[in-house]
Structure 1
Amino acid sequence: MKGFLIDLDGTLYRGHEPIPHAAAFIHWLKQQQLPYLLVTNNSSRTPEQVAEHLQELGIEVPAAAVYTSSQAAAQYLTEQRGGNRVHMVGEAGLRIALEATGFALGAETTPNYVVQGIDRSFSYEKLTEAVRHLKHGATYVLTNPDRMLPSDGGLMPGAGSLAASITAASGVEPVVIGKPSPIIMAYAIERLGLPAADVWVIGDNVHTDIRGGRLAGCRTALVLTGVAMADNVQEQLASAGLTPDLICDDLQHFIEQFNGIDSL
């Protein structure tokens, strides 16, 4: 039995557009009865919102098959037992995940944690407030390190770009939760219920998806439909210093290569 940890942005969809063969790929997984989990560094949506978005794009996936960096961040904080006061820089997906696990947001007293994800209303005031809390001893937790994200109109700055400004101003390096961190990878593999060696990580980003899979001991497949594309893949591989097990034009190409590997 093989299992799959599959990226979302740039792998199944790009903004509000489905990537060709994405729906057929999910159908193939179900038809073959192969376990899978959609693992996303995007912290802005809840699993239910992700599933709804996918359904609008013609991709049928239950919310239980979605695991976000916000959920992983909340799970990590729960395990730390370092207090329940959180100052959040982020959007609804992060807020709901933190509140669902019992964390108090916006407390007047100094927070135990500054938790930051993507925040498309990020401002100088938010930067200042986060830095002040970190200077007063709060632990900095970053949902994901992505500096750029694929979208309808091309690449846009991600949570990692915001984190760069917070780190530069505060001098505090964050605990990184999302890919390529072993934190989210360990949680996702545990949810899948298979040994890491029997898991394929599929994504479009060499620095997050492929590196995360490699560090976790999984097999990896890079699809050229998002951050990595045919015209930049060699540059991406060189900058990361990594070579995935498979490089695929798209998810249909992955199925063809996967079926052709005798060792599987």
Structure 2
Amino acid sequence: MISSRIDSFRSVAKNFKVVFLDSYGVLKNHKGLIDGVAETISFLRGEGIVFRVLTNDASRSQEQQVEVFDRLGLKDLDVEEVITSGMLAKQFLSHKIKDGKIAYLGTENSADYILQSGLKHIAVRDIDLENIEDISAFVFLDDEGFDWNYDIDTTVNFLRRKTVPVIVANSDKYYPVNKNDVSVATGGIAKLCESMLSKKFIHFGKPDTQMFNYAYEHINRDKQQYDKDDILMVGDTLSTDILGGNKFGLKTMLVLSGNTRSDNAELWINSSGIIPDYICDSILK
């Protein structure tokens, strides 16, 4: 299988009934909304193409995601058009964890959103390792909102002492902060802890199938209108967007406007074995 290098996203997109779009690196970057994205969304609407934004950002609710896009200049995005890993983690916690406290690593904002299960939650910095009997789950939320040295040490020591369900609300290992550099994301911290503890956590977000299942069922909630052959998954990261789309049986497009750059795309594809169906510079034309 060889990827097709194309000049126009729109020429491919119009052959599909549905487009799943990653957020960071496809619609926006460290500078804000990528120029031309609003026009592309208008094109999809005008062609009658259903779209969903699938993001591993667990720090904001769907409503907050829409508000951010509105401030950046992408207007009239509907709440139901955004699907986040945070909302899936929230659903899991509300159904599975019925008593005790939920400990979390991340910001209070994301904790207030995701941990609305009726249970109390406690930040890692407030954990007393000598008094952990009432903690019944642990959640990796954000890469911000905590002391990287003290709180990650506390996380590791807590998980060494007590076996509880551990949820990773954002599977991204890193994210771009400028054209050349990246920063460690929540998934990277969780992977480090998994390796140290020889444990497996429960991951939400791409490339795991829960998000794709949810999005697929959501677009077919009224009746079975769309098959997997009708859907194009567009993302900037091979290990999350493209791998997840491939595993779910969708056609995939790698764009070079985020994590993957034009000068290393072929190398990364060859070394990873993760092959998109299409490669395009961006979704802007």
TM-score by length of 1: 0.86
Extract unaligned runs of 5+ from structure 1: 254-264
Please list the CA deviations of residues 76-116 of structure 1 after superposition, one character each: whole Å capped at 9, or x if unmatched: 33344565632111235531332334343129643222110
2:100 and 2:229 map into 1 onto residues whose CA distance is 36
Q: Is residue 206 from structure 1 mapped to residue 232 from structure 2 by the alignment?
A: no
Deviations 1:103-162 (A, max 9, x none): 431296432221103222342222233223323111111123322102346421111221
Equivalent in the alignment of 1:117: 141
- Which among 71, 79, 83 is matched to residue 67 of structure 1? 83
Pick the structure with greater CA Rg: 2
Answer with 142-151 or 85-94: which moved more: 85-94
- Distance in 2, matches of 1:122 and 1:24, equals 41
Alignment of 1:237-256 (within 5 A): 237-253=269-285
SS across alignment from 1:250:
coil
Percentage of identical aligned residues:
25
* Mapped pair 1:22 → 2:49: no
Any runs of at least 4 consecutive aligned residues in structure 1 with deviations exceeding 4 A, and if so which?
81-84
* Code of the aligned partner of 2:110: L
Deviation at 1:20, TM superposition (A): 2.8
Structure-2 change in CA distance of 1:27 and 1:50 (3 Å): same
Q: Does 1:226 align with 2:250?
A: no
Partner in structure 2 of residue 42 of structure 1: 57
Contact 1:45 1:92 survives alignment (8 Å)? no
Change over 3 Å in CA distance of 1:125–1:15 after alignment to 2: same
Partner of 2:168: 142
The question of whether the paired residues in 2 share the 8 Å contact of 1:69 and 1:184 is answered with yes
The match for 1:235 is: 267
Higher relative contact order (CA 8 A, sep 6+): 2
Q: Which runs of 5+ in 2 are unaligned?
A: 1-15, 221-225
TM-score for the superposition, normalised by structure 2: 0.80
Number of positions where the alignment pairs a residue of Structure 1 with one of Structure 2: 253
State the match for 2:102 in structure 1: 86
C-alpha contact 2:83 2:211 (8 A) present in aligned 1: no
**Which letter maps to 1:133?**
F
Q: Once superposed, what is the RMSD of the aligned Cα atoms?
A: 2.2
